[in-house]
Amino acid sequence: MKKKTFVLLAFICAAFSAGTVFGSVSACFSKLDFLRNFFLPQNKATGELFVKNAIPFLLIFLCGFLPFGIPVIVLLMFALGTGYSCAYCAKLVQSGTGKFLPEAAQFSFSIFIVLACIITALYSSQSILLRFEKAKAAKVKLKREKEKIYMENIIIFISAVILSLLSAVIENGVYRFCLVGV
Q: Is residue 70 part of a domain?
A: yes
pLDDT tier at 182, thresholds 50, 70, 90: very low
Q: Which residue has the higher pLDDT, 108 or 161?
A: 161
**Contact between residue 24 and residue 36 where contact means Cβ atoms under 8 Å apart:** no
Instruction: Judge whether 118 lies within some domain.
Output: yes
Helix (H, G, I), strand (E, B) or coil at 96: coil
Which pLDDT belongs to residue 39? 76
- Measured distance CA(157)–CA(152) in Å, rounded: 8
Q: What is the pLDDT of residues 58-113, one digit of tens each?
A: 999 998 888 888 899 999 999 998 888 888 887 777 776 666 666 666 777 788 88
Predicted confidence at residue 37, as pLDDT, reads: 67
Mean pLDDT of 110-131: 87
Asked whether residue 155 is assigned to any structural domain, the reply reads: yes
Q: Confidence band (pLDDT; 50, 70, 90) for 137? A: low
pLDDT surpassing 70 at residue 1: no
28 contacts 94 by C-beta, under 8 angstroms: no
69: in domain? yes
pLDDT at 135: 58
> According to the model, what pLDDT value does residue 74 have?
92
How many separate domains does the chain show?
Answer: 1
Dihedral angle over CA of 49, 51, 57, 59, nearest 10? -140
Instruction: Give residue 78's pLDDT.
Output: 93
**Residue pLDDT, tens place only, 15-65:** 999 988 888 888 777 766 666 667 777 777 878 888 888 888 899 999 888
pLDDT given for residue 100 in this prediction: 66
Question: What does the pLDDT average to over 135-150?
Answer: 72
| Residue 182 counted as domain residue | no
Distance of CA 166 to the CA centre of its chain: 14
- Predicted confidence (pLDDT) at residue 180 exceeds the cutoff of 50: no
User: What integer pLDDT is reported at residue 181 of this predicted model?
Assistant: 47
For 101, the domain range is 3-177
